Structure 1
Amino acid sequence: MAVTNLEKSPQMTQRTTELIEGPLNTPSMTSPFTTDVDEGDKKLEALGYTPVFKREFSNWSSFSFAMSISGVYGSLMSTWIYGLQAGGAAAIMWSWIIGGAGAWALALSVAEISSAYPSSGAMYFTLKFLAPEDQVAFLCWVSGYVNLVGTVTGSAATEYASSQMLLAAISITSNFSYMPTTHHVVAVMALLTVAHASINTLPTRWLNRLTSGYVVFHVSVLVGACVCLLAQKRDKHTLSYAFTDFQPTSGWSPPGLALLFGCLTPAWILTSADSTARIAEEAKDPSRIVPKAIANATTFTYIIGFLFNLVLVLCMGDPRDLATNSQPVAQLFFNAMGRGPAIVFTLCGFVVMNLVAIPGIQSGSRTIFALARDDLLPLSRVWRRISRRSQTPIAAVWLYAALEITVNLLGLASETAITAVFNVCTVALNLSYITPIVCKMLYSRFERGPWHLGRASVFINLWAVAWNGFMAVVFFLPTKLPVTPENMNYAIAVFIFVLLFAIGFWFTHGRHYYTGPRTRARTQRSFDMAIGRGA
């Protein structure tokens, strides 16, 4: 059923035209690239936006996209150091079990909300429907900027880790005669970012094809690495060792508190559920496909990540030989299997991280597009434009890539500084997810979509908010005592700066014109019918 009772202003018509490069010859109520309106476009129109993307992502490709964002094989290689330094084997295993459960609850909560309000604005946009009307503008403004910072720093960290893995493989090939420097890492990172951004200028159908094959490659690499490690490592640890050997070196009292720092690994890997929600305007039947992709991919990642962690712990040898290495898993491969297999599996990690970075830029550019569509960013008219050639926001793609490179240039100044910026990623993203979940529970304005958690919703929401709110505080603490200028966790300073900037920019600029997401007016009945409620 087409939605006809939507109000449209001259300003909205002008803004819709600005989305597309060049003149339009098609009605503003339908996508400028298609002549028919599918169910996903009807729902988007009911939310108040004019469709501008082509819907290419199916059930499988959306699931694969969600899996690629987590990139458990490569991401675990780059973040395994947190659990290792937190206390060795037991810290790695229990931090994944406990921390992963909290991240899984958060992902399910995000999936439920994204089913009700599927758009590229994702959690930022949902505040329009979940928060009280007099708070929508301020909450959307701050949440939008905090989410953007979290997204950019997360993608920048992915590019940085990709560069480190490639150079680690080269170092192993040279029998460690070559040791990468920070300048080398940053230079390779910049080249990779440009390459990944160039791929994101392709039409959506090509991005869909690239993403669709990811899961098969990723699972093959995971299984291959596990089988080779278990077959070639002679002196393996026992299962009892994996869950009981705890070697705290942090200086925290009680020592078990250090285990919490290992929870950064599952939080990092499982925290980007919102990224899949960003492609809602490019997915078919997004109110069902997108939340299913988030839930299924997060659950699969949680399970397979546990198994991969277990294999690594059983085969790691003495953890003290790995704890000082920036790429401990690559060193583990070398120690357990020798140079050849270590090079192969480290390069596989590099490939996986590239397949994380490409959809990361796609998701990040859709974040910029969604914020610019609502006039939340400076020069919004530029960043919300859609290319006629690729049907994607190319200007937003290159802005996002430039932001990634800018963040990583901090690595040239200080390793401590770049680490602090990377650590802000998880806290910033989780805060932007928790905000709509809290509003959902407090204000009772939420009307669930086709995919929902049923009676378990309240419990899962409460667990997600409580755990991730608690971990936001933990991630700001220094991981070692006594605190020195070298081991101090400066993430809190970076986060406070981001928060003060967003709030200050609101009072000096945003509050004078920004009233929340710039959607057309719609009636509740038209929205309910389009979204499939009460049918």
Structure 2
Amino acid sequence: MAHRVDAHQRHASKEKASDPVDRPESPHIEEGKQTSANGVLEALGYEPELVRNRSTLQVAFMSFVLAAIPYGLATTFTYPLVGGGPVNIIWGWLAVSLIILCVAVSLGEITSVYPTAGGVYYQTFMLSPPSYRRIASWICGWSYVVGNITITLAVNLGSTLFLVSCINVFESSPGVGIFQAETYQIFLLFLAVTFLANAICAYGNKWLPYLDTFAIFWTFFGVIAIIICVLAIAKEGRHDAEYVFTSFEPQSGWPAGWSFCVGLLQAAYSTSSTGMVICMCEEVEKPATQVPKAMVGTVIINTLAGFLFLVPLVFVLPDIQILNALQSGQPVPTIIKSAIGSSVGSFMLLLPLIVLSLLCVIGCTTAVSRSTWAFARDGGIPGSKWWKRINNDGVPFNAMMLGMAVEVLLGFIYFGSTTAFNAFTGVGVITLTLSYACPIVVSLVGGRKQVRNGQFYCGTFGLVCNIISLAWSLLVIPLFCMPTSIPVSAETVNYAPVVFVAFILIASAWYWVWGYEKYSGPPTVDDEYNPSEVW
């Protein structure tokens, strides 16, 4: 697959000579591995700039932290409760996990051929015909960056609200928590979480792989503690297996079939981060094999972890009507407290989820900085010369600060309308899903010719995974645009479609106003690139 080089596409424009940076070599990576990985990157047209300090396990651990199972399931537990109860919670999770495994396989095949921090937008450019590759990669790139930022924004606020709900297992009087947070207090906590995560990512980059490793063991022991304590104590009794695995109680007002689909939002949100880890390709030893394996392996681990977390909660599930009426929108603390019967004991069991939520915020912040930096490196963002800079520690600090600034500005919407703010959660999932679908669909339309050169080629199974992934994308996008229950009121209306359509119109208009002349896309190379030969 040969590509001709246009002069303006050369990355001599990266101003390497005028912006010299000394970056430390990672002592943990053998020189041969560094050279091999950097050789692939150079074959793709880029100068190595980031520090390759992550092993296969460490990038898998980061992928796990991005999904943050079981924290991600805990904060969105209300969706399957409204959608259909136990059947939605258990079987919906397993069904979506199998679908997301197909997404991971599909993206893994493509990533093994194009392992760069640009991720899906770079892949879309390279796989698309020259006639529309720039506009396709532009839409995909903006979807990927916006998706990373809005999902991180949702995780930051979700962590804040979950923390408040966990604190309120301590009550000043029956049914009244000790911390009835005002809107401004929620916002200040949100700022504290956001600033802390960015500070850790900016100044503790070399320690991030160890935090991700810690998260795995912390989560494992936390989930085991929840399983044992909830099932053993079960203050209000236990349901039988028939209730847990067969009870379907739609509460949304929608017809049963669509109500079940509404309940899938929990699993869809929790697994939306599957492709975010691709932006770490330039910080691992052998990205063409490590990142695909990490994505697929993490989905399998998450499926098991989620199942083990959800089943005990359903066995001790209180009345669903009471849970749906909670003002906090966070039923898991209430479920655990009803099973344990002790405020202190409940908070101790929730503590692993609180810590995991903060680790998830850090992982998402890292992904935002890398995805924004990579798109800026190819001129996809106005002011790219500022956002593509790397500091002395190998961190895209300016891109990180840009992402943080956008998150804080969008956070002010919470003062005006929590409903409007919640739309950004839906938009995050929609835009990430769209960005994942872009390289898959152009690869499929092109006959999957390029992925055959990769080291993660899955043959006919990969083709089936492509079809399932695209069918899922066609369901998720309208699903996140619909209200979760009817009849619809000002408090329950879903603004996600408005925000999403506005984003598409703005991104498209900005391309014709600015991008058409300024955006050249990723670099192309003179020589034919064959990943199997490079490795």
Which residue of 494, 505, 513 corresponds with 1:508? 513
Q: Does the 8 A contact of 2:11 with 2:45 survive in 1?
A: no
Indicate conservation of the 8 Å contact 1:49/1:520, yes or no: no
Alpha carbons of structure 1 residues 436 and 94: separation in structure 2 relative to 1, 3 Å = same
- In structure 2, list runs of 5 or more residues that go unmatched: 24-28
**2:38 maps to which of 24, 38, 41:** 41
Q: Which residue, out of 241, 245, 248, partners 1:246?
A: 248
Aligned partner of residue 117 in structure 2, secondary structure: coil
Matched, 1:403 2:406: yes
- Post-superposition shift, 1:457? 0.6
Residue 474 (structure 2) aligns with: 469
Q: Which residue of 2 aligns with 1:365?
A: 369
Which residue does 2:26 correspond to in 1?
none
Residue deviations 1:44-65 (CA, integer Å, cap 9, x gap) = 1111111001101001111111
2:465 maps to which residue? 460
Distance 1:451 1:204, change over 3 A: farther
Given the alignment, which residue of 365, 373, 389 partners 1:385?
389
**Residue 340 of structure 1 pairs with residue 344 of structure 2:** yes
Q: What is the rounded CA distance, in whole Å, between the counterparts of 1:165 and 1:315 in structure 2?
A: 20
Is the 1:111–1:273 contact (alpha carbons within 8 Å) kept by the matching residues of 2?
no
Give how far 1:402 is off. Answer: 1.6
C-alpha deviation, 1:129, in angstroms: 1.8
Query: Is the CA contact (8 Å cut-off) linking 1:8 and 1:521 kept in structure 2?
Result: no
Q: CA deviation at 1:180?
A: 2.1
Quote how far apart the aligned CAs of 1:200 are. Answer: 0.9
Query: 1 CA distance for matches of 2:111 and 2:11?
Result: 26
Identity of aligned residues (%): 26
Q: Structure 1 residue 329: deviation in Å?
A: 0.2
Cα distance in structure 1, aligned partners of 2:88 and 2:11: 56
User: Deviation digits for residues 143-169 of structure 1, max 9, x if unmatched?
Assistant: 111111111111011111111122223
2:450 alignment partner in structure 1: 446
Corresponding residue for 1:349?
A: 353
1:385 is aligned with what amino acid? R
Measured at CA, do residues 483 and 406 of structure 1 come closer, stay the same or move farther in structure 2, by a change above 3 Å?
Answer: same
Q: Is 2:449 the counterpart of 1:426?
A: no
Distance 1:526 1:244, change over 3 A: closer
- Asked if 1 retains the 8 angstrom alpha-carbon contact of 2:62 and 2:212, the reply is yes
The AA in structure 2 aligned to 1:407 is L
Please state how far the C-alpha of 1:506 moved relative to its aligned partner.
0.8
Q: Within 5 A, what are the aligned runs for 1:492-531? A: 492-517=497-522, 519-525=523-529, 529-530=533-534
Q: Give the superposition deviation at 1:257.
A: 1.7
**Which of residues 98, 103, 115 is equivalent to 1:101?**
98
Deviation at 1:467, TM superposition (A): 1.9
Contact 2:67 2:273 in 1 (8 A): yes
The offset of 1:459, in angstroms, is 0.6
Change (3 A) 1:13 1:276: closer
| Cα contact 2:83–2:260 (8 A) shared by 1 | yes
Say if 1:428 and 1:376 are closer, same or farther in 2 by CA, change over 3 A.
Answer: same
Amino acid at match of 2:417: S
Q: Which moved more, 1:163-172 or 1:368-377?
A: 163-172
Distance 1:45 1:39 in 2: 10
Q: Distance in 2 between matches of 1:11 and 1:473?
A: 37
Describe the shift of the 1:35–1:112 C-alpha distance in structure 2 as closer, same or farther (beyond 3 A): closer
Q: 1:23 to 1:94 in 2, by over 3 A?
A: closer
Instruction: State the shift of 1:361 in Å.
Output: 0.7
* Distance in 2 separating the partners of 1:10 and 1:157: 38
- Count residues in correspondence: 517
Change (3 A) 1:481 1:520: closer
Superposition pairs for residues 283-294 of structure 1, below 5 Å? Answer: 283-294=284-295
AA matched with 2:492: N
Instruction: Please tell me the residue identity of whatever aligns with 1:247.
Output: E
How big is each residue's C-alpha offset from its partner over 1:179-223, in whole Å with a ceiling of 9 and x where there is no partner? 123322221011111010011113542222222222111111111
Cα distance, 1:12 vs structure 2: 4.2
Q: Deviations over 1:291-341 (max 9, x none)?
A: 111100011101221221111111112222212221100111111112112
Q: TM-score, length-normalised on structure 2?
A: 0.92
- Structure 1, gaps ≥5 residues long: 27-32
Counterpart position of 1:118: 115
- Whether the 8 Å contact between 2:413 and 2:420 is mirrored in structure 1 is yes
Secondary structure in 2 matching 1:54: coil
- With normalisation by structure 1, the TM-score equals 0.92
Q: Between 101-110 and 61-70, report the one with greater CA deviation.
A: 101-110
Amino acid at match of 2:247: D
